[in-house]
Structure 1
């Protein structure tokens, strides 16, 4: 027992225990992300393998020797499978039975044929050193996940160090076997101490790396969900245009600036003609497609400061800062002609599409509601005068605001 107490294997066991506990916590907090479950299983399997090997050192049992070596290799293989799962690659499940089976075959032969311990050490180290190569190549070359790229490099370098040290250990084992050197107690052997002094720290560094990979992915996913939530709060899901809430906020800001600086600003209320009839004749799915086509048709026609928003249903609002009514009228007529000329078909059946628009220019004392109200009055006149046209609100040209009368004409 004294030899075990002073053996680096006990320190290694404590480090692996810390890794296993940390990996369990990582798995618990990161569910359902793929990968940590394998690392948790790897940590506890490694501990089981080391404890079985310690049992062999105490009792000299061949069974514990075989199972201890097999358990440690199985733990290392599970760690590598976690990397493949985390990166979304097909799992090379064969590495577990192949590495464990090959080691057990040589290990059993060692006890049956009275083999050489240095040769067995070389076999174990060769298998353990070659195991990570697939994962190392994947980690160092994969650039698909930019959020976890720095941690991937850390894990790849750690495994490369682990592999190099372990293969060096195997070389010394084969070398001592070929020279038929006398048996040296494990705690006095360079080949035995090499992995505990260098390979095990590399494995710990690798676990730190996979923990960072997991946390970086969680943070990136959280940011993505946050951006998606902000986008849903300001964007129309169907057309990807701004929604009414976002429009009102921008319009309040731009209108206040325009009135303060005495700069022109126009707002247009746009409504697709006979859209209810289109839905009835062609179905709501086709109607949704038409709304997307209409929204996309404005690409390239608007400046960075212009805002097109879906106000609701087939209604859209166009906000044009630093634009007077004459300039806005030209833009709307050009867009109206472009939409009318679009080749929209339901199968082989052509579907005509036009829109009507009411246009109002900001004036002193306006707020967003009064500006929208005047644009809605102009839209009502465009609808009642035959549709497929743009009307500009002018002082004295309209009766009292019709409220939602325009809607009844659509």
Structure 2
């Protein structure tokens, strides 16, 4: 019986975890395991190794190391192991395997030196440039000691001159790879930082495009978008009535002239906060322009809207704005009920005319258009 997709997913989750960072670390582990297996396959099947017992020992050592690192990576969060610590440990393990492979590979031992650069490149993804450089020097030191020992004890098979040239080429290539990967790491970090800064800038732009900076209410542009969306929603669903109210702070120009623009800004902020506190869930208020504010009251009839605005008038009248010497804040308002499927612009026009009548007839009142 073949396993189902859900079963395979469950097995994969058990093996590699659900956390994206852990999954990525285990992917790197899997890639190194495949690489070790490939080298051992060549050793066993291509006659590279001089002693099969040495290959068996290396295979056991490598297998145990792979299994141990899987467990360490899988339990890294529980054990509190950082990715840099795991990467450095796996790098040193890889260097040890490379030294061992060089010692038993026979005439083709030079090919195993490529493994040292592979170790450095793999560790670059988790280590900082200085740590990668330190790992490269550790690899060069280990391989250099291995090569020196062999040329000193078996110069016939490990000629000193050949070993010296081989080490020089390996060192130059390894340091070059380390330098280039370090620069790539810096570039990747810089690109990541720039991407984060760009995302933050886009969030700021979105906020500025939809929120009035002074009052922290929706701005006119955003309110127009909401009204258009509400028109589409009501057309599709046949929703109930919606009221639009336009409010204008009374004698606001006099407040600015007598008390200064800072006091005027304080009035706008306090007025906006009072409106926000007095609205119901689903209602929306926006700064429509200057000292004028627009309220969208979904699923609300004229009487409900009038009652709501009277409560708002009482709340605004109780505001105490510092620096105004006890001056009472009041507003005039006009209400329009959207009839049928008319555009909200027509409803706003009726509310605007009602607001004009409220201001003309003495202010501090709310009329219906």
| TM-score bracket for this pair, using the shorter chain length | 0.5 to 0.7
In the other structure, the counterpart of 1:212 is 188
In the other structure, the counterpart of 2:255 is 278
Matches within 5 A, 1:106-117: none
Q: Would you say the 8 A contact 2:239–2:299 is kept in 1?
A: no
Q: Does the alignment pair 1:266 with 2:279?
A: no
Select which of 261, 272, 286 maps to 1:295: 272
Residue 288 (structure 1) shift:
2.0
Matches within 5 A, 1:8-407: 154=125, 156-166=127-137, 188=164, 195-196=171-172, 198-258=174-234, 261-303=238-280, 305-346=282-323, 349-364=325-340, 366-393=342-369
CA distance 1:389–1:169, shift in 2 (3 Å): same
Q: Would you say the 8 A contact 1:187–1:193 is kept in 2?
A: no
Q: Would you say the 8 A contact 2:136–2:178 is kept in 1?
A: no
1:295 is paired with a residue of what secondary structure? helix
Residue 346 (structure 1) shift:
1.4
Q: Would you say the 8 A contact 2:270–2:319 is kept in 1?
A: no
Q: Would you say the 8 A contact 1:258–1:265 is kept in 2?
A: no
Instruction: Find the aligned partners of 1:294 and 1:186 in 2 and give their Cα distance.
Output: 86
Residue 262 (structure 1) shift:
4.5
Instruction: Find the aligned partners of 1:186 and 1:158 in 2 and give their Cα distance.
Output: 31
Q: Would you say the 8 A contact 1:154–1:206 is kept in 2?
A: no
Q: CA deviation digits over 1:106-140, x for unaligned, max 9?
A: xxxxxxxxxxxxxxxxxxxxxxxxxxxxxxxxxxx
Equivalent pairs counted in the alignment come to 238
Residue 194 (structure 1) shift:
6.4
Q: TM-score by structure 2 length?
A: 0.54
Q: 5+ unaligned residues in a row in structure 2: which ranges?
A: 1-123, 153-159
Q: Would you say the 8 A contact 2:338–2:344 is kept in 1?
A: no
Q: 5+ unaligned residues in a row in structure 1: which ranges?
A: 1-152, 394-410
CA distance 1:168–1:254, shift in 2 (3 Å): closer
Segment drifting more, 250-259 vs 309-318: 250-259
CA distance 1:172–1:271, shift in 2 (3 Å): same
RMSD: 3.7
Q: CA deviation digits over 1:335-389, x for unaligned, max 9?
A: 2222221221118x33432222111211125222221121122223332343333
Instruction: Find the aligned partners of 2:135 and 2:297 in 1 and give their Cα distance.
Output: 65
CA distance 1:162–1:303, shift in 2 (3 Å): farther
Instruction: Find the aligned partners of 2:253 and 2:311 in 1 and give their Cα distance.
Output: 24
2:276 is paired with a residue of what secondary structure? coil
CA distance 1:321–1:166, shift in 2 (3 Å): same
